[in-house]
Chain A
């Protein structure tokens, strides 16, 4: 089973991501901010196939988080997508330079989210 790790500070956003992807057979791990995400990753021995990060979050934003995750040897090349209401071009470039694989602007169409996760995780 493929695993998606989603980090978003909004409980409703977390619930909708989890619901959308679990229905498709993915294992979904959730965190409410970057600091907690790094703690979870630290104790997580299984493979994560795709990361989904929000950008604007308390404690640690998504851009800082992606830099931290890219610094971890085993996640150097794991696909990391931003899923966010943020649509500023300059932010996207910042995200790309920090190591993001793609950028999805909310609201997401469930079928399109599934499609893109499949593409990055392998079906």
Chain B
């Protein structure tokens, strides 16, 4: 994550990378580059608090039933390892927004990315589509309205989220520039295989 002044936008731009998130209650711009990853831009209408995450489900294996039912209450799905990265990315973003003063009932979302960029190592369609399916299903399950999406296609995207206004600019970018970052992220997730839960007993 880094912050840099952008003279065109006349604002500081906070750039986040895969696995990161940022929440702002100030006049700020959050930006990220997406290939097959998803960024969810979350907004609270009342308090004008905005936040964005950037994640993917590595080697995901969402079942056909999940795609059909459109919600995440297909319970055995929820405890699958690959799914947990997505769930955590979403929960952390929502929790941080609530901590900043947002109200769950005022939240709405827009989703970006999920390009057909990376080939999945499994037989399942492609990672971009899996990520889109997950984001839609999560929002539906949580009852958070999905106001807009700019997803899919074989393109990379650079997005700018003006948090106060809840407006988002999307610029298409070279796929290669988006892919390099995602490969690194996937490798990192793959290495985290036997991660221990963080438990403290008092």
Contact residues in B for A112 (Cβ distance below 8 Å): 196-197, 199
A selection of 7 A-B contacts at a CB cut-off of 8 Å is: A11-B142, A12-B91, A16-B75, A20-B79, A58-B105, A113-B197, A116-B199
Contact B141 A108 (CB under 8 A): no
Task: Tell me the complex Cα distance, A112–B198, Å.
Answer: 10
Task: Tell me the complex Cα distance, A84–B95, Å.
Answer: 9
Task: Tell me the complex Cα distance, A77–B163, Å.
Answer: 45
Contact residues in B for A18 (Cβ distance below 8 Å): 75
Q: Name the prevailing secondary structure of the B interface residues.
A: helix
How far, in Å, is B127 (CB) from chain A's closest CB? 19
Contact A101 B201 (CB under 8 A): yes
Q: What 6 pairs between A and B have smallest CB-CB spacing?
A: A16-B78, A19-B75, A105-B198, A107-B84, A103-B200, A112-B197
How far, in Å, is A119 (CB) from chain B's closest CB? 9
Contact B98 A15 (CB under 8 A): no
Contact A100 B202 (CB under 8 A): yes
Report B's interface with A, CB cutoff 8 A.
72-73, 75-76, 78-79, 84-85, 87-88, 91-92, 94-95, 98-99, 103-105, 138, 141-143, 195-202
Contact residues in A for B84 (Cβ distance below 8 Å): 107
Contact B75 A85 (CB under 8 A): no
Contact A85 B72 (CB under 8 A): no
How far, in Å, is A64 (CB) from chain B's closest CB? 14
Task: Tell me the complex Cα distance, A109–B88, Å.
Answer: 12
Contact residues in A for B199 (Cβ distance below 8 Å): 102-105, 112, 116
Q: Name the prevailing secondary structure of the A interface residues.
A: mixed
Contact residues in A for B94 (Cβ distance below 8 Å): 10
Task: Tell me the complex Cα distance, A40–B129, Å.
Answer: 40
Contact A11 B95 (CB under 8 A): no
Q: Does A76 contact B (CB under 8 A)?
A: no
Report A's interface with B, CB cutoff 8 A.
9-13, 15-16, 18-20, 55-58, 84-87, 92, 96, 100-110, 112-113, 116
Contact B197 A105 (CB under 8 A): yes
Contact residues in A for B198 (Cβ distance below 8 Å): 87, 104-105
Task: Tell me the complex Cα distance, A87–B197, Å.
Answer: 12
Contact A85 B78 (CB under 8 A): no
Task: Tell me the complex Cα distance, A113–B103, Å.
Answer: 29
How far, in Å, is B17 (CB) from chain A's closest CB? 19
Contact B92 A58 (CB under 8 A): no
Contact B92 A85 (CB under 8 A): yes
Contact residues in A for B91 (Cβ distance below 8 Å): 10, 12-13, 85, 106
Task: Tell me the complex Cα distance, A107–B78, Å.
Answer: 11
Contact A58 B87 (CB under 8 A): no
Contact A19 B142 (CB under 8 A): no
